[in-house]
Amino acid sequence: MRFPVLKLEKRSVCGRSHGCCRMRSPAHRTRDIERQAGYLKPEHCAPPPLRNSSDTMWFIRDGCGIVCGVITWLLIFYAEFVVGFVMLLPAKNILYSLFNGALFSSLAFLALASHAKAMCTDPGAVPKGNATKEFIESLQLKPGQVVYKCPKCCSIKPDRAHHCSVCKRCIKKMDHHCPWVNNCVGESNQKYFVLFTMYISLISLHALILVAFHFVLCFEDDWTKCSNFSPPATVILLILLCFEALLFLIFTAVMFGTQVHSICSDETGIEQLKKEERRWAKKSRWMNLKVVFGHPFSVAWLSPFSKPDHGKADMYQYIV
């Protein structure tokens, strides 16, 4: 079998382009190695295993990620307990309790649903072990087209894909691996991760406001009448909730902002960190948002149960 002719940039022995003396990043040097025809070695790759119908749910068996995911759910349930049983149930104003209880519970439910979707959705994994002779022949590569092979998972990976050492797969448009959702944040689950950070920041802000109101009301009234628990227990529970909410509000708000900026600029966290050369077409910020959340704009953007419908929004094209 003849491999396709790979188009390479003419370089001198020192690795610099002719006519310039710029240094190259490690990522670029790795890409140059992956462009070499001998690097593919398809004869060393076994065909990818067939997936059964029962093997449809994506779940990473990582101990640290599983523990972080369980902790996340327990912290949300703790906040729900303190808000409902410590602050809202003893409140004298029934309308105040019903409104805030419904609002907090709804946001907490959406946060848990977004977390579950981000954790159990395939982030865009490249088929493992597809760097075979048959697959390369099926690509019908044109002369001069560049292909990349991942030596770790033996896959022909698209452009903008990176290998995750935890997931042990190459992920399309990988942003980062997040242990709190026990998954990579990639092309197919970035929407759910953004929603998760948004809803966590909202319930954290709501919890802080409720704690502040409760402290004011209890200082003006008798502490034994503003809670079903003893005053010391009430204070401890409220302080712990305040600390948890403040910590998660700062963390998730910053993460939400960085994710939105990454989507609008069409540059993932790994690409920013490695300062990779931009080789993809530039789109408007609004189009970049549609690529992640779906087309057209609707209330479904805020729903973790709605799979993004890209419609007329052009998906990213990957060179293979």
How far apart are alpha carbons 61 and 49 in whole angstroms? 18
Based on the residue annotation, tell me whether 264 is a catalytic residue of this protein. Answer: no
Q: Which pLDDT score is estimated for 51? A: 53
How far apart are alpha carbons 297 and 291 in whole angstroms? 11
Query: Are 68 and 182 within 8 A, CB to CB?
Result: yes
Q: Which pLDDT score is estimated for 90? A: 86
Is residue 262 included in any domain, yes or no?
A: yes
Is residue 137 included in any domain, yes or no?
A: yes
Q: Which pLDDT score is estimated for 202? A: 98
Tell me which amino acid residue 52 is: N
Average pLDDT for runs of 10 along the chain of length 320? 36 34 44 44 54 67 96 97 93 92 97 97 89 78 78 84 91 94 95 98 97 84 77 91 97 96 91 80 88 90 88 46
**How distant, in Å, are the alpha carbons of 36, 114, 260 from that of 208?**
56, 22, 24
Is residue 11 included in any domain, yes or no?
A: no
Query: Are 103 and 206 within 8 A, CB to CB?
Result: yes
Q: Which pLDDT score is estimated for 246? A: 97
Q: Which pLDDT score is estimated for 163? A: 92
Is residue 267 included in any domain, yes or no?
A: yes
Considering 150, 178, 218, 226, which one is annotated as catalytic? 178
Q: Which pLDDT score is estimated for 283? A: 85
Is residue 313 included in any domain, yes or no?
A: no
Q: Based on the structure, what is the number of domains in the chain?
A: 1
Q: Which pLDDT score is estimated for 108? A: 98
Q: Which pLDDT score is estimated for 311? A: 57
How far apart are alpha carbons 216 and 225 in whole angstroms? 13
Domain that holds residue 203: 26-47+59-278
pTM of this structure: 0.80
Chain CA centroid to CA 237, Å: 31
Helix segments in 158-230, DSSP class H: 190-220
Q: Which pLDDT score is estimated for 312? A: 52
Is residue 293 included in any domain, yes or no?
A: no
Q: Which pLDDT score is estimated for 35? A: 43
Q: What stretch of H or E contains 161?
A: strand 161-164
Q: What angle do CA 56, 167, 304 make, to 5 degrees?
A: 55
Q: Which pLDDT score is estimated for 278? A: 78
Is residue 263 included in any domain, yes or no?
A: yes
Q: Which pLDDT score is estimated for 32? A: 41
Is residue 132 included in any domain, yes or no?
A: yes
Radius of gyration of the chain (CA): 25
241's tokens: 């909730």
Q: Which pLDDT score is estimated for 138? A: 79
Q: Which pLDDT score is estimated for 140? A: 78
